[in-house]
Amino acid sequence: MSKAPEFYYYTPLENGKIQCDLCRHYCHLKEGQVGICGVNQNVGGKLKNLVYGHPIALNVDPVEKKPLYHFLPASRVLSFGTVGCNFKCPFCQNWDISQSKQINEEIEVSPQQMVQLAIEQGAASIAYTYNEPTIFYPYAKDIGLIAKEKGIKNIFVSNGFESKEMIDDMATWVDAANIDLKSWDEKYYKKVLKGGFEAVKDTLRRMVKAGIWVEVTTLLIEGDNDSREDLEAMANFIANDLGVHVPWHLSAFHPDYKMQDHHATALATLKRAEQIGRDAGLYYIYLGNVGVENPTRCPQCHEAVIVRRSYGYIDNRLVDGKCPTCSRKIKGVWE
């Protein structure tokens, strides 16, 4: 199997050390040392991505599951991930792979094979997801460039902790991203998630500016990140820094991993957050993990332009990306 060029993703330091440039931890690694993510290692003064070619989870999904609601509605997406993560979220639903460092090297899928699989499955896009894709960026990019040549789009589902260098590079091949805005508290990001709040905000701004189609997801956990003050700050940030057209997905928490004793998020909490988003001027707010319909409505005449009754039933009424009633352009990637 061909391997990714490794020189681009690190900076040489003194005495054989290197700096990993994939995410904003910017880990400094001695010879043989592995970064916080557990899957990028200093080998001979170069960065080796240990999960390159070794996916651990792979499925074909509706793109709405990412969730992306303004990106090729009802299309199929080939989704995959590896082990490892650069965050330590105690509520992670994919913790069994994201918090694992056990790489199954018996599973080998080359970039060419991954793209061919997407073609065979009739996928319009490939999603780098399940764990944090930034940590397998060399593998993702090699797949993504081939996919782009074949007319297949690329999606990042991410915690938003990419390095500035990777965001600049992503603009050349990534079409869409769903980025988690997990909290409005720097201490929570550092202490609980082991990441950085300001970095995530910066990533969101940079991705939008770079022309990547961005949708934002907030997993609401009652008592952790659902105060009125925090929700108003999140909604105003999206509206003012990213744009009122950027979709905000409000998802209900369900007990998992290290938070199995915490209660699930009530629908009323999501609806309260939804109203806060509306008050901030956001056009598109969607509720996840609670089984409600999530139509996309025209912000001008309020016509339901995309009706979603389930992942398997999407009625897309847009005409050339416009509302069929008033001809207002609805922002998104529709073809």
pLDDT tens-place string over residues 151-207: 999 999 999 999 999 999 999 999 999 999 999 999 999 999 999 999 999 999 999
Cβ-contact 201, 237 below 8 angstroms:
yes
Cα distances from 100 to residues 81, 85, 136, 152, 242, in angstroms, run: 12, 8, 14, 30, 34
Instruction: Say whether pLDDT at 330 is over 90.
Output: yes
Given its phi and psi angles, is residue 294 left (phi above 0), alpha (psi -120 to 50 degrees) or beta?
beta
- Rounded Cα–Cα distance for residues 275 and 235 (Å): 10
As a whole number of angstroms, the distance between CA 85 and CA 263 comes to: 25
For residue 5, is pLDDT > 70? Answer: no
Confidence of residue 8 (pLDDT cuts 50, 70, 90): confident
Predicted local confidence at residue 4, as pLDDT: 46
Confidence at 2, pLDDT banded by 50, 70, 90: very low
The mean predicted confidence, pLDDT, of the chain is 95
Domains and CATH numbers, the chain: 7-49 (no CATH), 57-284 (3.20.20.70), 295-335 (no CATH)
pTM equals 0.96
Segment 213-231 mean pLDDT? 97
Average pLDDT over residues 131-139: 98
